């Protein structure tokens, strides 16, 4: 009997990314605008070719993230086994420094106002948020945005280095694209496996990978264990933090902040069912190039009656099974076969997949004076343009050009088939046939990729209905507001103590506070009696509001 688990997954359509960084900025405002996380971007957008953030994180010979096969063909952490991890715990040799990310800064804005009258306009100088000293801005999370400084910086791109020299030159002339990245919420997370205290875990309901802030002891092994470098160290609190897949939002059925605010509407969220018992086996496939297919083989068809029966036996609720059947992710990975995993060779079984961009190929065609929308030209170019294909293959299929080529041919087919319909009304059915799809499938795919409304892009089942009331409390309170958490101030002050649930009595208290003129009446939020628990005997303290004045 297979152990079926559900996983919330994301697909990003790179052709539609305009590199506006709205996802990064809104994510930062929501999650990492606190002291200690100034340098942290749970979501970042990289220009490729480029070094990425942190610099050259994809060079696993240097950083040793993810898994590898040992001599006996068994899966082991690339950074070494358990004992080795414990022996290097006092000074982790693979830990990125703040300089590998960038030194965050602010500006002396006050100077603009406080400077005495002079001939020169006062200047707000940059100041390091790490040392507090004046600093020079030399790097950032997107320093090489839009290929800025590319002749100098791009050659250090670890992916570009893997593509051969001749390819390199042509490539730099040819194109660029954007790669938005969040945590991959892997099926086989090496960060979780690296955590000595067992504070990191994968949620068994939805597969979201989280850090238990109460159990994290700051050993920093997760930071180095993740090959995508998507676990960060909060240098103020001494705890690891990472992308949460906006769990308080997805639990109530709304998409992550990065998806919600995506200008290009290029993100899709949905469920994937997978066989948890086969993950390790699939991640141990010998040939790196077979990992893409291996990962697909772990995922289950939500329409298969056997899978449905097994999923029910594993305790997955009906509404989740229904959501899995409607999942845009499953369609993009299986029905249309256009989504690919990022760096499957890390053997972590990542669950944020990408539709590789066709636009670079179109750009090259157009530059050479050809019709970049015509199927024949596009197919020819996809076969001929070794450079972009090679680069994309290093990102999405461990260097095997075939999966990338197949995806791009499908995208090209969709482009020219739909152009035919929209311009001339003619349906050239030979085009879909050339990529092994039916015309209706192409039209469905076009709908999903180009015009799908919100509810089709984000199919997110709510967390269990019977837990609704409690989750409502979770989603409306601050998730960091727990006892001792960063959102609270200890047993002093208004926000201290355990978070108050949303309930009748504090609803009224809040209303009262908002309408009152007295600041000190804010204290009445505390010490009130929960009428739902009151046994009706006597008049406990706080049953009635305090008299305003005793005169």
For another protein, the binding residues (CB under 8 A) are 82-83, 85-86, 89-93, 95-98, 130-133, 188-189, 192-193, 195-198, 200-206, 212-220, 233, 235-239, 463, 470, 473-474, 477, 479, 481-486, 498-499, 501, 530, 533
Choice between 201 and 334, CB closer to another protein: 201
Shorter beta-carbon distance to another protein: residue 149 or 315: 315
Measured over the CA atoms of residue 410, residue 275, residue 207 and residue 141, the dihedral's sign is: negative
Q: Token digits for 543?
A: 């049953």
Q: Which is nearer to another protein, 234 or 397 (CB)?
A: 234
* Least distance CB 129 / another protein (angstroms): 10
Residue closer to another protein (CB basis): 235 or 521: 235
Q: Are 150 and 367 in contact (CB under 8 A)?
A: no
Name the pairing type of β-strands 352-355 and 4-13: parallel
Between 211 and 362, name the residue whose CB sits nearer to another protein.
211
Looking at the Cβ atoms of 470 and 508, the one nearer to another protein is: 470
Nearer Cβ to another protein, position 223 or 398? 223
Query: Could you tell me the smallest distance in angstroms from the CB atom of residue 58 to another protein?
Result: 20
Residue 39's alpha-carbon distances to 42, 57, 129, 245, 444, in angstroms, are 10, 15, 9, 19, 41
Distance in Å, CB of 102 to another protein, minimum: 12
| Smallest distance from another protein to CB 94, Å | 10
CB of 427 to another protein, least distance (A): 48
Pair 358, 411: CB distance under 8 Å? yes
Q: How far apart are CA 38 and CA 33, in angstroms?
A: 6
Shortest reach from residue 495's CB to another protein, in Å: 13
Q: What is the secondary structure of 397-420 as a DSSP string? A: STT-HHHHHHHHHHHHHHHHHHHH
Quote the least distance from Cβ 484 to another protein, whole Å: 4
User: Least distance (Å) from another protein to the CB of residue 498?
Assistant: 5
Closest listed residue to residue 460, CA positions, set 189, 259, 262: 259
Q: Nearer to another protein by C-beta: 217 or 511?
A: 217
Strands (E), 16-141: 44-48, 67-69, 75-77, 105-107, 126-128
Angle (CA) 12 17 22, round 5°: 95
Tokens standing for residue 97: 């420094």
Which of the 8 DSSP states describes residue 56? Answer: T
């Amino acid at each position: 009997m297979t152990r079926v688990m559900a996983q919330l997954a994301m697909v990003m359509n790179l052709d539609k990314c305009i590199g506006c960084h709205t996802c990064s900025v809104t994510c930062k405002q929501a999650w990492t605008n606190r002291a200690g996380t100034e340098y942290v971007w749970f979501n970042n957008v990289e220009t490729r070719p480029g070094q990425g953030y942190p610099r050259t994180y994809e060079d696993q010979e240097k950083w040793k993230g993810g898994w590898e096969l040992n001599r006996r063909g068994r899966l082991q952490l690339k950074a070494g086994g358990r004992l080795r991890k414990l022996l290097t715990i006092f000074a982790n040799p693979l830990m990125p420094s703040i300089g590998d990310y960038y030194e965050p800064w602010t500006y002396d804005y006050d100077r603009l106002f406080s400077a005495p009258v002079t001939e020169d306009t006062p200047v707000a100088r940059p100041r390091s948020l790490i040392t507090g000293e004046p600093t020079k801005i030399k790097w950032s999370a997107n320093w090489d945005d839009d290929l800025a400084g590319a002749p100098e910086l791009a050659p250090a791109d670890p992916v570009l280095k893997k593509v051969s020299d001749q390819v390199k030159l042509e490539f730099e002339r040819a194109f660029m694209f954007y790669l938005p990245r969040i945590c991959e919420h892997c099926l086989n997370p090496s960060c979780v496996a690296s955590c000595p205290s067992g504070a990191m875990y994968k949620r068994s309901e939805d597969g979201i990978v989280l850090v238990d802030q109460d159990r994290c002891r700051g050993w920093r092994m997760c930071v180095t264990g993740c090959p995508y470098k998507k676990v960060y160290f909060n240098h103020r609190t001494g705890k690891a933090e990472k992308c949460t897949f906006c769990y308080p939002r997805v639990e109530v059925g709304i998409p992550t902040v990065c998806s919600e605010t995506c200008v290009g509407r290029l993100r899709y969220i949905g469920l994937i069912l997978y066989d948890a018992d086969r993950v390790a086996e699939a991640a141990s496939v010998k040939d790196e190039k077979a990992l893409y297919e291996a990962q697909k083989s772990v995922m289950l068809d939500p329409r298969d009656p056997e899978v449905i029966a097994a999923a029910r036996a594993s305790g997955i609720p009906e509404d989740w099974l229904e959501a899995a059947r409607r999942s845009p992710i499953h369609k993009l990975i299986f029905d249309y076969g256009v989504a690919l995993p990022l760096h499957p060779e890390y053997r972590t079984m990542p669950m944020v997949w990408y539709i590789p961009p066709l636009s670079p190929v179109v750009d090259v065609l157009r530059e050479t004076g050809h019709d970049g929308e015509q199927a024949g030209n596009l197919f020819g170019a996809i076969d001929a343009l070794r450079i972009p294909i090679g680069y994309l293959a290093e990102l999405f299929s461990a260097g095997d050009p075939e999966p990338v080529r197949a995806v791009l041919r499908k995208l090209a087919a969709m482009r020219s088939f739909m152009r035919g319909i929209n311009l001339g009304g003619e349906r050239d059915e030979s085009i879909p046939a050339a990529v092994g799809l039916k015309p209706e499938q192409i039209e469905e795919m076009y709908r999903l990729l180009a015009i799908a409304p919100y509810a089709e892009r984000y199919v997110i089942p709510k967390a269990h209905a019977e837990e609704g009331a409690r989750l409502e409390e979770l989603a409306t309170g601050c998730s960091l507001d727990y006892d001792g958490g960063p959102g609270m101030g200890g047993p002093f002050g208004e926000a201290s103590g355990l978070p108050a649930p949303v309930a009748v009595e504090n609803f009224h208290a809040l209303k009262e506070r908002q309408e009152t003129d007295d600041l000190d009446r804010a204290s009445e939020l505390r010490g009130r009696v929960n009428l739902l628990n009151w046994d009706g005997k006597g008049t406990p303290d706080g049953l009635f509001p305090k008299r305003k004045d005793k005169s």
